[in-house]
């Protein structure tokens, strides 16, 4: 018996199968990350070719038989974020976001929050008006947080201090004031200024519509980006090949 589903989804990975077909990984609103077979997906004359390309956001009609993957019955393109193709760094960063989502987003479960975050990030990347490092940090920390890896940023766990001139962030996900960190047995922590502490909290706790609305100096953005990428990598225990490629391109 077939299970039929109508949902919206973002194509986060594609693989050619034979001469004409395509296997895609999709971050969907209703069933999370799934794999789907697209018959004639490589054929430019097929109505399902363009809507199932990488980084395309589409309305999808899917069915699932006894196999572990779905089949795309029909697809209608909603957005293809064409601005991403104007800069290789934007495109490579978008592919990094897709690799993160494929790693941390749920499977066979609702994933509307994950999908909304990626769509907002790709929209901003496509426009090119917001710093790539700012978008990158926001996606890394927010995806980690909504996927079960939220850090404890409310206060120092030893003295309860909420804000000091210097705070220290551990990749375990804890935030210490300077005095308590120096008395702790931990050998290493990232020193944070007040602005960086506030930025980290913003990435975790801000409303979705305000997530990308903050400013930092270029130097602070670089440090924030370093912190969020290493925190995410440590939590999911994975090195992302697409991140290394993005760094090569952006440098």
Q: Is 235 found in the same domain as 210?
A: yes
Residue 188's domain spans which residues? 82-250
Tens digit of each residue's pLDDT (9 = 90 or more) over 207-240: 999 999 999 999 999 999 999 999 999 999 999 9
Of the three residues 36, 58, 79, the one that is the final residue of a domain is: 79
Count the neighbouring beta carbons within 10 Å of the beta carbon of residue 129.
Answer: 7
71 shares its domain with 86: no
Residue 3 has a pLDDT of 83
pLDDT band with cut points at 50, 70 and 90 for residue 251: confident
Which DSSP letter does residue 107 get?
B
Residue where a domain terminates, one of 44, 79, 114: 79
- Provide the pLDDT confidence category of residue 70 given band limits of 50, 70 and 90: very high
Calculate mean pLDDT across residues 65-91: 91
Q: Do the bridges between strand 32-38 and strand 70-79 make them parallel or antiparallel, or are there none, so unpaired?
A: parallel
Per-residue pLDDT, 109 = 94
User: Which CATH number covers residue 59?
Assistant: 2.40.50.140
> 12-41 pLDDT, tens per residue?
999 988 889 999 999 999 999 999 999 988
pTM: predicted TM-score of the whole model, two decimal places: 0.95
Q: How confident is the model at residue 1 (pLDDT cuts 50, 70, 90)?
A: low
Contact 1, 78 (CB under 8 A): no
pLDDT band at 65 (very low <50, low <70, confident <90, very high): confident
- Residue 176 has φ and ψ, to the nearest 5°, of -115, 145
Residues 116 and 14 in one domain: no
Residue pLDDT, tens place only, 120-172: 999 999 999 999 999 999 999 999 999 999 999 999 999 999 999 999 999 99
* Runs of H (alpha helix) within 164-214: 178-183, 194-205
CATH number for position 179: 1.20.1440.120
Same domain, 27 and 94: no
Identify which has the larger pLDDT, 65 or 170.
170
Mind listing the pLDDT tens digit for each residue in 102-128? 999 999 899 999 999 999 999 999 999
153 and 223 co-located in one domain: yes
Tell me how far apart the alpha carbons of residues 175 and 148 are, in angstroms, rounded to a whole number.
Answer: 18
For residue 214, the model assigns a pLDDT of 95
Domain count, the chain: 2
| Average pLDDT estimate for 87-97 | 97
């Amino acid at each position: 018996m077939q299970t039929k589903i109508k949902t919206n989804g973002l194509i986060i990975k594609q693989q050619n199968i034979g001469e004409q077909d395509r296997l895609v990984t999709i971050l969907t609103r209703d069933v999370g990350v799934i794999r789907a077979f697209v018959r004639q997906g490589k054929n430019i004359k097929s109505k399902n070719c363009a809507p199932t390309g990488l980084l395309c956001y589409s309305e999808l009609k899917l069915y699932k038989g006894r196999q572990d993957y779905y089949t795309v019955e029909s697809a209608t393109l909603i957005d293809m974020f064409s601005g991403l193709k104007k800069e290789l760094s934007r495109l490579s960063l978008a592919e990094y976001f897709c690799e993160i989502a494929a790693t941390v987003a749920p499977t066979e479960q609702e994933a509307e929050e994950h999908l909304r975050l990626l769509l907002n990030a790709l929209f901003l990347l496509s426009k090119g008006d917001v710093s790539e490092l700012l978008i990158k940090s926001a996606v890394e920390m927010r995806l980690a947080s909504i996927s079960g890896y939220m850090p404890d940023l409310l206060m120092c766990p030893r003295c309860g201090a909420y804000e000091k001139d210097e705070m220290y962030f551990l990749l375990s996900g804890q935030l210490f004031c300077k005095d308590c960190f120096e008395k702790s047995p931990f050998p290493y922590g990232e020193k944070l200024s007040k602005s960086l502490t506030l930025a980290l909290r913003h990435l975790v706790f801000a409303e979705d519509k305000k997530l990308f609305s903050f400013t930092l100096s270029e130097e602070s953005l670089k440090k924030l980006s370093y912190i969020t990428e290493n925190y995410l990598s440590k939590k999911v225990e994975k090195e992302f090949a697409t991140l290394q490629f993005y760094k090569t391109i952006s440098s």
